[in-house]
Structure 1
Amino acid sequence: MKAFCNNSYSIILLLLISALVKIDAQNRPVTTTCFSPRSRCFRRTMRCPAQCPSTRPSNPGAKVCYFNCDSPICQAECKNRKPNCNAPGAACLDPRFIGGDGIVFYFHGKSNEHFSLVSDLNLQINARFIGLRPAGRTRDYTWIQALGVLFGTQTFSLEAKHTATWDEEFDHLKFSYNGKDIVIPDGHLSSWQSPESDLKVERTSEKNSVLVTLPEIAEISVNAVPVTKEDDRIHNYQIPSNNALAHLEVQFKFYGLSSKVEGVLGRTYQPDFVNPAKPGVAMPVVGGEDNYRTSSLLSAECRSCIFSPAGVLDQTDSLLMDFGTLDCTSGASSGSGIVCRR
């Protein structure tokens, strides 16, 4: 009987200690560290804000904590992991871009053709456009269906798979690395990393949303979505019944682009770029199709492209200011000395 009581006390004590350890872990502040060697904040550690206490929240809709290595005061901040179509670096809808200068513009391209969105010495991002042209229209309605990424000697692509009807319970994303298909299991936070650790793809929801990370180069937030019936009604796209026109909503965040960066979107990050989009126009359309057209999704060749597999950025020529985190939804000033314009 005495032995039984001792064992019971031991079990209760262990359970109590376990509960206290768990409570302590839950209450312990989460911290995040800057691992960017080029940053003045390198190896600094900061506590996460109360608004986003986790770097890997279990809720797909929650904001995450990250260390903004480009912040002049070296601080931990909150961010969304899904595309914000109303912030710089966004490419959504048919396609509606927001440049690094905060200006909204449309680039229609042409259906079933490819265009370079960003071309820098060490990075190129191309897009495949899909679309349709109803009778009587003078141009195609277009959407971004796929992205092709070239960095160093590696290539990566992701695309929204063709589907007749949209089903939220089905994953519509397809991935490839160096020409070979890769599989990322369904599930929030499920991920894949390249053998060289120079590319990571992580799901930011159960299906159809991912965050692509090229360390020290770029982050790409992606959603796969259909053209909705409401958009079809408003814009009179005349979407066929056998094609949901699955496409991508995208937001880019860049680290240290050069001042010579090119591309439909990339050129808006040039320090002296004058955006040709006309202010005050409902749909300010810009051209440049001939300058940025590529022969395929993973081709580095276009009239204005500057990417080289051996490309090395001169750090004295890099644009260290990160415009991709600006949010122009709350007013004209971003708080970083940048004015958001439409």
Structure 2
Amino acid sequence: MKGDLRTGFYVILVVTLYAFTVIVKLEAASSETKTCFQRKSPCFLKKQTCPKQCPSFSPPAGSTKACVIDCFNPICKATCRNRKPNCNGKGSACLDPRFIGGDGVVFYFHGKRDENFALVSDVDFQVNARFIGLRPSGRSRDFTWIQSLGLIFGHNSKTFSLEATKAAKWDNQVDHLGLSFEGKEISLPKGDASVWSSSREDIKIERTSDLNSVLITLQDIAEIWVNVVPITKEDDIIHRYGRPEDDCFAHLEVQFRFLKLSKNVEGVLGRTYREDFKNPAKQGVAMPVVGGEDKYRTVSLLETNCNACVYSSGLISLDKVEPLLLNQNTVDCTGGSSSGVGIFCRK
């Protein structure tokens, strides 16, 4: 009798272990995998498989999270992230404009309305932003927001621009995104997961909701999450913007994830990723403002010349320069001072 029970127990144990193994293999098979090919990363040639909570790098319509890999993450594991910008995360630029740099420090850069500034300038790509804004009576500076992005990249200095189109009143059922590549308008069908890519597939635009949200992927360079939002009446009352009735100041919320950067990267946001950067933002104040308007101002949205810009017109590739060792863990500075690997969030 005891022998039969023992035999039955082992049979059940073996069947259970087999079933568990099959389930694990099926889950792994249904999850996408990528390999890191960045030579100086700790994860070089290591495969990263997406977690079951977010099994795809390009999830289907309706998904709230997508899989991402970080070749410089010490644990070499793929993770989940939201499909829209996290305005409390590293590499973000939201509000008027509030940045969180590569060093995890919160700062404000107001620039000037109706002017353009280099957010990131590196040897083979640049990201500029056009600011819109207003100045109520009695104020010494403009309130500003990011209205559009201009990207210049590649050996032939290709151009892409994205803008929040002007609207008197915000309508959630209207797409407020304007897109163009090499000066030609892009028609991106409405609907979550709708995709457009260039003929060489060096840039891809993917909707992350039915309207007003996209993910821009510059192949092997960066991922940029973008969301279009208005200045609401509540925002106007709280911050005393003095918003007119005929303009809701539609603007962009943006978050960057860089796949590689050189050690000489520049720009309002780009410089915060440098190993030698010391953030001048004054800590302990409600709005730590940094300057640099004269260093980063460009003539137009797609102009790469500024006093501190390092873009080389595509003549130099990041593959030929010393890269920064990036840790791209998403930082959420809402949960306290310590968030993510090696990042300290300061208020």
Shorter chain as denominator, the TM-score bin is: 0.7 to 0.9
1:313-335 deviations in whole A, cap 9, x for unaligned? 25662113134633333332234
What residue identity is the alignment partner of 2:344?
Answer: V
1:246-277 deviations in whole A, cap 9, x for unaligned? 00000011122111111111111111111110
Match of 2:138 in 1: 136
**Alpha-carbon offset, residue 64 of structure 1:** 1.4
Match of 2:317 in 1: 312
Q: What aligned pairs does 1:283-294 form with structure 2 within 5 A after superposition?
A: 283-294=287-298
How many residues are treated as equivalent by the alignment?
319
Match of 1:33 in 2: 34
Which segment is superposed worse, 326-335 or 114-123?
326-335
Tell me which stretches of 4 or more aligned residues in structure 1 moved more than 3 Å. Answer: 24-29, 35-47, 53-61
For residues 118 and 62 of structure 2, the distance between their equivalents in structure 1, rounded to whole angstroms, comes to: 31
Structure 1's 292 and 232: CA in aligned 2 closer, same or farther, altered over 3 A?
same
What residue identity is the alignment partner of 2:163?
Answer: E
Q: What aligned pairs does 1:1-342 form with structure 2 within 5 A after superposition?
A: 29-34=30-35, 36-38=37-39, 39=41, 41=43, 44-58=46-60, 60=62, 62-152=64-154, 153-309=157-313, 310-313=315-318, 317-323=322-328, 325-342=330-347
Match of 2:3 in 1: none
Unaligned runs of 5+ in 2: 1-24
Q: Percent identity?
A: 58
Which segment is superposed worse, 69-78 or 103-112?
69-78
Query: Match of 2:318, SS?
Result: coil
1:21-66 deviations in whole A, cap 9, x for unaligned? xxx9889541321254545545544443233234343354521123
Structure 1's 35 and 274: CA in aligned 2 closer, same or farther, altered over 3 A?
closer
Structure 1's 233 and 197: CA in aligned 2 closer, same or farther, altered over 3 A?
same
1:216-235 deviations in whole A, cap 9, x for unaligned? 11111000110111110101
For residues 340 and 248 of structure 2, the distance between their equivalents in structure 1, rounded to whole angstroms, comes to: 40
What residue identity is the alignment partner of 1:124?
Answer: Q
Contact between 1:87 and 1:324, CA under 8 Å: does it hold in 2? no
What residue identity is the alignment partner of 2:335?
Answer: S
What residue identity is the alignment partner of 2:162?
Answer: L
